[in-house]
Structure 1
Amino acid sequence: MLHPQVTAAEKLRRRPPADGDPYERLVQSRAAMEEAVDLECGPAVPLPVVVDVDADGVPCRLYATKPDSPLFVYLHGGGWCYGSIETVDRVCRRIADRSGCAVLSVGYRLAPEHVFPAALDDAETVISYARKSDLGVDSTRLAIGGDSAGAQLATIAARRQRDAATPLDYQVLIYPALDPMTAAESYEELGRYGLDRASMKLAWETYVPDPMRRITPDVAIFATADLAGMPPTLIITAEYDALRDEGADYADALATAGVPVVHTRYMGVNHGFARKLAVIDAARAATDQVASSLRAALTF
């Protein structure tokens, strides 16, 4: 059963009209998501360090509670088309506060203004920047993660780092969007709970307009021939999320490849729940699970 808190949360954000110019609707959706941050996510937890950073041209925000902390690079969700550093600000603050890790939140370029591989390039630029720059953190202990589209960028970046013989130490994937073909049965069963196949197909097509590129390993992680050597992974999925099955399938694929993986499914919630800290109890539990997993993986 869908939790009543999810239903209540859906009323907090202004919805754009169902018709009209598609790009104008996208612009309005971006604005509505920003406007709802305080209502959905709650007040900003004060931290000793919250500073905006130019990571070789990619805007980022660094959150830290102490010097020389391990670093967690975080990529926000939003279908590669919306979302921002601001929309995940409260989540990043909570993770930094409770994990003992610094968090570097990435403001990657969005589609349709900037299509593939712009966002992936930005993620890799930030990883490189973090490793070579003096941020006051310990970038030899480096994890990556994100939610939804950001989780897709995170795991592709992690795979590329593995292939470059510079592997990351850990990855966190919150309801990851991983299959450009949107083939999972969960789309049929759960599409009425907020995220459906049509909207997800549109997001993939907007991010990667060339259909042939959507089946390459830099877009579809399932096209990667061998997942061995990927970083230990936490995957969080939601019971009422159309992306639920592809997240579970990826957890199984990682385990088959010998990668340590924990997959937790949060019941009664749908896609996007994890950032709504002010209104959904499971959001706080999921964010705290992320923090505790990072602390266990990186604070050695």
Structure 2
Amino acid sequence: MADLEELKQKYKFHDETLSYFKLRAEAGFGSYPNAPSVEAARDINLQVTKKFAGEIEFDGSEKEFNVPSPYVPDGIPVTVYKSKNCSLVVAPSIFVFFHGGGNVVGSRQTCDVICKLFSRDAPCVVVNVEYRLGPEHLFPASNDDAKCVVRWVSMNKSLLGAVNDSTIGVGGHSAGGRLAAVVSQQLRSDIDYQILIYPNVDYRRQYASQEEFENFPGLSKEMTQWFSKNYIDDSKKETVLASPILNEKFNCLPPAMIILAEFDVLRDAGYAYHEKLKKAGIRSQTFCVKGVTHGFFHLPGHFKESCQRAHEKVCKFIKASS
């Protein structure tokens, strides 16, 4: 329940986090709940990304596909990145990535930089997914899209520039991390690894970090409530599709890498998910980036040191899983 000034007395903040909050405020980026419309909130999310994500040199191909879907007449748009470095690998892995944004804001564009980074440095083929958002498309629309894309990827490896022996991994941050966790439970035989970045795996919000950081400027209680209001009915929050931590069967899930931010309402739920995986005998590892806020992961232009540490962990995990 503490605010930023109170938390400064307890924790050591990374300079990147403090300067991020300062620069964001100076730029006039408001909070999503205070935006005049959902469209305006989406624009805030995009403008924040443009300001803080930076740029990356990418030598490789970037192709657009529309994944056939019974839910989307024109198909689910995806961008597929294949760096020249993939030619150095006999069977480059395919990494399917789901952006964050509470299932309400966010887009492929907000993850363009990090998807190119993973394709270059892992190296691997990255599939960046434009899943449907609320309130236009309510729960479980994004889940349906995630499942549809992973099934399509598993049947079209060569089309994407990979080979039959290529492994398939799923990943995402925040809401995208939840999608990756859920689809890993649904399509266990199709997925070889999962990378969950501060995932929202439990809508019940029954963790100490939820209370401690509920007034934090990174991801506040007000913001999580706004996301929920625009995406999911309260009666559905305790279903396995919404809160994958409630699944009773954690056996046979793919190995997991879970990246967490120290100052995050979702931090302790991520640790709890890790413990459930370990208890079921699943290989899982966590890496909590100290001094940073929820949302840092896709903004390497500003969080240079913090992102480098986290991204190196992700690339190493993909290489080991290829």
Scaled by the length of structure 2, the TM-score of the pair is 0.86
- Aligned pairs for 1:12-31 within 5 A: 12=24, 14-16=28-30, 24-31=36-43
Shift of 1:79: 0.6
Q: 2:77 aligns with which of 59, 77, 80?
A: 59
Are 2:217 and 1:203 aligned?
Answer: no
Q: Which moved more, 1:236-245 or 1:131-140?
A: 131-140
Are 2:242 and 1:223 aligned?
Answer: no
- Aligned pairs for 1:84-163 within 5 A: 84-133=107-156, 134-138=159-163, 140-162=166-188
Q: Contact 1:274–1:284 (CA<8 Å) still a contact in 2?
A: no
CA distance in structure 2 between the aligned counterparts of 1:201 and 1:18, rounded to whole angstroms:
11
* Equivalent position of 2:278 in the other structure: 255
Q: 1:46 aligns with which of 44, 58, 70?
A: 58
CA RMSD of aligned residues (A): 1.8
Shift of 1:276: 1.3
Q: 2:102 aligns with which of 61, 79, 83?
A: 79
* Equivalent position of 2:5 in the other structure: none
Shift of 1:256: 0.6
Other structure's SS at 1:137 match: coil
CA distance in structure 2 between the aligned counterparts of 1:63 and 1:95, rounded to whole angstroms:
9
What amino acid maps onto 1:2 in structure 2? F
* Equivalent position of 1:6 in the other structure: 17
Q: How many residues align?
A: 292
What amino acid maps onto 2:123 in structure 1? G
Other structure's SS at 2:187 match: helix
Structure 1 residues 92, 18: CA separation in 2 closer, same or farther (over 3 Å shift)? closer
CA distance in structure 1 between the aligned counterparts of 2:315 and 2:297, rounded to whole angstroms:
13
Q: Contact 1:47–1:63 (CA<8 Å) still a contact in 2?
A: no
Shift of 1:205: 3.6
Other structure's SS at 1:37 match: helix
Q: Contact 2:33–2:222 (CA<8 Å) still a contact in 1?
A: no
Give CA deviations for 1:236-288 in whole Å, capped at 9, x if unaligned. 11111111100011011110110000111110001001111011110122112
Shift of 1:18: 7.8
Q: 1:214 aligns with which of 212, 233, 237?
A: 237
CA distance in structure 2 between the aligned counterparts of 1:138 and 1:173, rounded to whole angstroms:
25
- Aligned pairs for 1:248-287 within 5 A: 248-280=271-303, 281-287=305-311
* Equivalent position of 2:47 in the other structure: 35
Give CA deviations for 1:192-235 in whole Å, capped at 9, x if unaligned. 322122321332342222x2321111111122011011110000
What amino acid maps onto 1:105 in structure 2? N
Q: Which moved more, 1:70-79 or 1:125-134?
A: 125-134
Shift of 1:17: 6.9
Q: Contact 2:94–2:162 (CA<8 Å) still a contact in 1?
A: yes
Q: Contact 1:148–1:176 (CA<8 Å) still a contact in 2?
A: yes
What amino acid maps onto 1:296 in structure 2? A
Q: 1:172 aligns with which of 166, 173, 195?
A: 195
Give CA deviations for 1:65-118 in whole Å, capped at 9, x if unaligned. 235521000000001101110101111111111102111010000111101111
Q: Which moved more, 1:151-160 or 1:217-226?
A: 217-226
What amino acid maps onto 2:172 in structure 1? G
Are 2:311 and 1:293 aligned?
Answer: no
Mind listing any 5+ residue stretches in structure 2 that lack a counterpart?
1-11, 69-74
Structure 1 residues 113, 19: CA separation in 2 closer, same or farther (over 3 Å shift)? closer
Q: Contact 1:142–1:168 (CA<8 Å) still a contact in 2?
A: yes
Q: 2:267 aligns with which of 244, 249, 257?
A: 244
Q: Contact 2:125–2:161 (CA<8 Å) still a contact in 1?
A: no
Mind listing any 5+ residue stretches in structure 1 that lack a counterpart?
none
CA distance in structure 2 between the aligned counterparts of 1:135 and 1:157, rounded to whole angstroms:
20
